[in-house]
Amino acid sequence: MSLNAKIPEGPLAEKWNKHKFNLKLVNPANKRKYDIIVVGTGLAGASAAATLAELGYNVKAFCFQDSPRRAHSIAAQGGINAAKNYQNDGDSIYRLFYDTIKGGDYRAREANVYRLAEVSVNIIDQCVAQGVPFAREYGGLLDNRSFGGAQVSRTFYARGQTGQQLLLGAYSALNRQIHHGKVKMYTRTEMLDVVVVDGKAQGIITRSLTTGQIDTHTGHAVLLCTGGYGNVFYLSTNAAGSNVTAAWRAHKRGAFFANPCYTQIHPTCIPVTGDHQSKLTLMSESLRNDGRVWAPKTEETAEKLRKSQLKASDIKEEDRDYFLERKYPSFGNLVPRDVASRNAKEMVDEHKGVGASGVAVFLDFADAIKRLGKDAVAAKYGNLFDMYYQITDEDPYTQPMRIYPAVHYTMGGLWVDYNLSTNVPGLYALGECNFSDHGANRLGASALMQGLADGYFVIPYTLGDYLASIGPKPIDASHPAFAKTKQDVLDVIAKLIALKGTKTVNEYHRDLGHIMWEYCGMARTAEGLTKAKGLIQKLKVDFWQNAIVMGENEEVNASLERAGRVADFIELGELMVTDALERNESCGGHFRLESQTPDGEALRDDEHYAYVAAWEFKGENKPEVMNKEPLEFEYVHLTQRNYK
Amino acid sequence: MTKILLLDTRYLIPISNNMSATTMNLTLKVWRQKNAQTAGKFETYKADGISPDMSFLEMLDVVNESLILKKEEPIHFDHDCREGICGMCSLYINGHPHGPKRAITTCQLHMRTFHDGQTITIEPWRAAAFPVIKDLAVDRSAFDRIQQAGGYISVNTGGVPDANVIPIPKVIADEAFNSATCIGCGACVAACKNASAMLFVSAKVSQLGMLPQGQPERYSRAQSMVAQMDSEGFGNCTNTGACEAECPKEITLTNIARMNNDYFSAKFFHEEHANENNG
């Protein structure tokens, strides 16, 4: 099947404007005849639901949490990029576009990324108008900070809680529309399938997490804003409930899954302490503005640190290796995430890791505290330091933090065209749920930007074009596809409930995570990936024989919810290793040991792999088929990324 | 005023390089309730081999794993981000919402706070406006309805001025931020003997009421949100300060004073605006 990305003609800077003019409009009186389903209420979902309702559409919004305000966008810490150039330091829309394309290691579409940079400035205006309390200078104007992969200060922030403040802004806009009756909100409700009628998405099947009731909802379009799939690794910085189920079930109904192997391992997370660990906590990338990353120069010193015979403060300056500053003098500690993560791994692999486990490096604020004073550091990072202290019982004001990379974000996701439409007409994917803007690596402070760009400023335009083309006729819920899909959902639930084996679902999830982290983590090889594929296939068979699922469907049943999600993660895991195996190049977060430069940097192979891999589901237990969307670069010259 | 979050030195203990070798054996008394219609009761469980490095929720995970292996019903509780920001986790632990330590949520509470052999009592939030869903999970949708009644600035997407058009003094922006850090967990209600939601409601009323963008609807917002709060069945405030003491985000009573000011001001001087909140 050929993939048409529907990128508009014309010069890069004019594409979006021209496209907006060419898109069909729905007249105001007709908008109220359309029902739109929005699944997920994070930045992308809440902003889309609110904006579409403001335009006059009837929106039904769904979230599995007890309130739309709890979606995992809330946990984003550092900030949101925008090409405002308030700092007069040389920023522009083109520079943000360029940095994002380069940061993504030239595996994203030029036109999408340019549009993202273009609307970034509107996002800040919108959020301020909603009352989002961004950090300000004493003169009352907005403050900026720097983030990895950029040499300008373009990141807007609200202390270490930017995601929270942006989400609460979008939540307030959503609340206003709920109040006006334009959005009907379904909380504690999980989407379990998409209903496709004659090739078009026209509804969803949901399960109430309080009663177990299975319901059918009709809509002229379905928007999946359901986030990423990082929890396939079991341990990640994602919320415990974050899952791939909505996206995966849509995939099994025909939506292509693009670049699943592109996962971001964030360099600054709190290291694992033991098997009981249920999640990993991120320390914002903004810490790398003032914190210096280092490991001891020798294995012997590291060994003494691990045995607590030495403290970090005992190590003399000349015995420390500030490895990012040494290897990348122009970007220093602010290299992109994938580069920082791989270098930390390298230190640990060379037995220079610290902490009792030896799987960590230092992030040191001693110099910043000396330079700025403790109060200034506390004002900037206080909540992060507190968080670190709560978890580790160590005081980062007096000794360096221990950090290690952890799975944080997934660049891959449902394939979408320029209009954010999947290949199934009427089915859209927004935010982290789609694959579109970050290529093989996402720059810091770009996830919030993309989620809100998609929801506030892209989908309100592109969706109208599709709706105008299908007309406002009500969706016929009596079409057999609705009953059939509902029955399919009930069958899966019955199969899960029947599992009364000997191993808990959590154990399967942990096993899957071990396989993924070991073979599909920061460094990947053909041999390892092949092995992983076999292991995952075995795990899947075992799961469907020996898992324990408690209780019944018709009640609150966390065990059943979890089982369905883990079953989907196992299938996704297999597709991820398949994709990683097929892509025999290194790019961004995907590092194949077979493909590196002489000094160990990621080596792309543009001749063979400058494409989007869009995977097509062919049936249960059948190999998926890859469709290629070639990436064409008209404006940016492809070079080996260099942050030295 | 800038709120600087410094470490609470009362809890500083000699630095260990984590990974404690010793484990603890604990007794849990947990509220079990099948659903809102069924009466609940305390059940006792053993939690053995607990590492001090576990979070409180990870300890419950371990207990649940062992219950599932015995084919017994696991303990149901709300949780999601597990890093203290989403507001989903709750739990009334040994008489305190989010447990004995200040300024953290249950998911940030670590077992090193407890000692070997201790008995820990775990209950849901108790308030008429927060009915129990199952075991330790309660229905907090009343909070959403209060926000829906007016917790916003009525602007549509698009057509807004440049973000730097209105300078906002840093002290005001910072104070509005402090109010905006509320995570909507409901600990304030659980802590209050009247089950009052004043701290929660006032945090939003304050945030928007302090900012220039929030002025046009300032008084109608206070009235609408208070009216919804009352209709949800939350109690009134009698200034005991329990909410402030237990709030994981350290939202202050000053917010309640600001809300009362706006509310009474609206009652006496701005009544004409009160019912115009239809943005």
Q: Does A537 touch chain B (CB under 8 A)?
A: no
Kindly state whether A554 is in contact with chain B, defined as any CB-CB distance less than 8 angstroms.
no
Domain ranges of chain A: 266-407, 480-628
pTM of the model: 0.95
A263: left (phi over 0), alpha (psi -120 to 50) or beta: beta
How confident is residue B21, by pLDDT bands cut at 50, 70 and 90?
Answer: low
As its CATH architecture, domain B20-134 has: Roll (3.10)
| A606 Rama class: left (phi>0) / alpha (psi -120 to 50) / beta | alpha
pLDDT digits (tens, 9 = 90+) for A159-176: 889 999 999 999 999 999
pLDDT at A369: 97
Please write the tens of the pLDDT for every residue from B229-264. 999 999 999 999 999 999 999 999 999 999 999 999
Catalytic residue among A95, A320, A337, A524: A337
pLDDT for A38 equals 98
Please measure the distance between the N-terminal and C-terminal CA atoms of chain A and give it in whole angstroms.
Answer: 41
Give contacts of A185 with chain B, Cβ < 8 Å: 144
Tell how strand A80-81 and strand A145-146 pair up.
unpaired
> What distance lies between CA B46 and its chain's CA centroid?
28
Residue among B87, B153, B174 whose CB faces A131 most closely: B153
Give the tens place of pLDDT for each residue, A524-540.
Answer: 999 999 999 999 999 99
Per-residue confidence band for A147, with pLDDT thresholds at 50, 70 and 90: confident
- Interface subset of A 613-632, CB within 8 angstroms of B: none
**Does residue B274 carry a pLDDT above 70?**
no
A442 labelled catalytic: no
Confidence class for position A381, pLDDT limits 50, 70, 90 = confident
pLDDT at B19 over 70: no
Q: Is A351 left (phi over 0), alpha (psi -120 to 50) or beta?
A: left
- Enter the DSSP assignment of A235: S
Alpha carbon B251 to chain centroid, angstroms = 10
Nearest to B6 by CA among A609, A487, A459, A380: A380
**Under 8 Å CB-to-CB from A446, ≥6 apart: which residues?**
A81, A100, A103, A116, A437, A438
Provide the pLDDT confidence category of residue B10 given band limits of 50, 70 and 90.
very low
Fold of domain A266-407: Flavocytochrome C3; Chain A, domain 1 (3.90.700)
Q: Is the pLDDT of residue B5 over 60?
A: no
User: Has residue B277 got a pLDDT over 70?
Assistant: no
- Predicted pLDDT of residue A275: 85
A359 pLDDT more than 80: yes
Question: Is A388 in contact with A270 (CB distance < 8 Å)?
Answer: yes
Question: Within the 131-150 window of chain A, which residues sit less than 8 Å (CB to CB) from chain B?
Answer: 131, 133-142
Statement: residue A493 has pLDDT above 90: yes
**Which of A51, A65, A85, A128 is most worth mutating to test chain B (most B CB atoms within 10 A of its CB)?**
A128
Nearest to A390 among B69, B110, B167 (CB): B110
User: Among candidates A412, A85, A18, A410, which has minimal Cα distance to A230?
Assistant: A410
**B135: distance to nearest CA of chain A, Å?**
10
Q: Cβ–Cβ of B87/A69 closer than 8 Å? A: yes
Q: Which residues of A touch B86 (CB under 8 A)?
A: 65, 70, 72, 74-75, 239
Return the CATH fold of B141-273.
Fumarate Reductase Iron-sulfur Protein; Chain B, domain 2 (1.10.1060)
Least confident of A40-49, A554-563, B9-18: B9-18
- Which positions 5-44 of A are in contact with B (Cβ < 8 Å)? none
Instruction: Please list every residue in chain A whose beta carbon sits closer than 8 Å to the beta carbon of residue B150.
Output: 179
Q: For residue A286, give the nearest of A146, A395, A164, A405 by alpha carbon.
A: A146
- pLDDT for the residue numbered A644: 81
Q: Per-residue pLDDT for B272 more than 60?
A: no
User: Average model confidence (pLDDT) for chain A?
Assistant: 96
The reported pLDDT for the residue numbered B3 is 36
Bridging pattern class, strands A401-410 and A263-269: antiparallel
Chain A residues in contact with B156 by the CB 8 A cut-off are 51, 54
CA distance B45 to B67: 10
- Whether B15 sits inside 8 A of A399 (CB atoms) is yes
Residue spans of the domains in chain B: they are 20-134, 141-273
CB contact under 8 A, B157 and A68: no
What are the tens digits of pLDDT across the range A426-474? Answer: 999 999 999 999 999 999 999 999 999 999 999 999 999 999 999 999 9
Q: How far is CA A591 from its chain centroid?
A: 18
Per DSSP, the three-state class of A533 is helix
Give the span between the Cα atoms of A484 and A528, in whole angstroms: 40
Measured on CA atoms in the order A576, A580, A583, A585, is the torsion positive or negative? positive
Which residues in A lie closer than 8 A to residue B181 (C-beta atoms)? 161, 164
A177-186 pLDDT, tens per residue?
A: 999 999 999 9
- In whole angstroms, give the CA distance from residue A295 to residue A320: 6
Question: Which residue in chain B has the smallest CA separation from A49?
Answer: B157
Query: Measuring CA to CA, which residue among A407, A360, A149 is closest to residue A265?
Result: A407
For residue A142, what is the DSSP state?
A: B
Nearest to A239 among B73, B82, B134 (CB): B82
- Identity of the residue in B2, B5, B76 whose CB atom sits nearest the CB atom of A556: B76
- A387 interface with B at CB cutoff 8 Å: yes
Residue B8 C-alpha, separation from nearest chain A C-alpha, in angstroms? 9
Chain B residues touching residue A124 (CB < 8 angstroms)? 163
Phi, psi for A214 (deg, rounded to 5): -100, 125
Measured distance CA(A107)–CA(A442) in Å, rounded = 11
Q: Do B141 and A460 touch (CB under 8 A)?
A: no
Q: Give the tens place of pLDDT for each residue, A347-357.
A: 999 999 999 88
Q: Kindly state the greatest CA–CA separation across chain A.
A: 75
SS3 category, A312: helix
Those residues with Cβ within 8 angstroms of residue B181's Cβ, 6 or more apart along the chain or in another chain: A161, A164, B249, B251
> What stretches of B5-150 show up as alpha helix (H) in DSSP?
56-69, 141-148
Residue B116: pLDDT above 70? yes
Q: Is the ipTM of this complex over 0.85?
A: yes
CA distances from A556 to A211, A497, A552, B203 (A): 6, 13, 9, 32
Identify the residue whose tokens are 């490095």.
B53
Mean pLDDT value across residues A619-626: 97
Residue range A2-61, pLDDT digits in tens: 799 999 999 999 999 999 999 999 999 999 999 999 999 999 999 999 999 999 999 999
pLDDT at residue A424 is higher than 60: yes
Residue range A193-222: mean pLDDT, rounded: 98
Residues of B in contact with A282 (CB under 8 A): 83
Beta carbons of A131 and B79 less than 8 Å apart: no
pLDDT tens, residue by residue, B148-205: 999 999 999 999 999 999 999 999 999 999 999 999 999 999 999 999 999 999 999 9
Q: Which CATH architecture has domain A480-628?
A: Up-down Bundle (1.20)
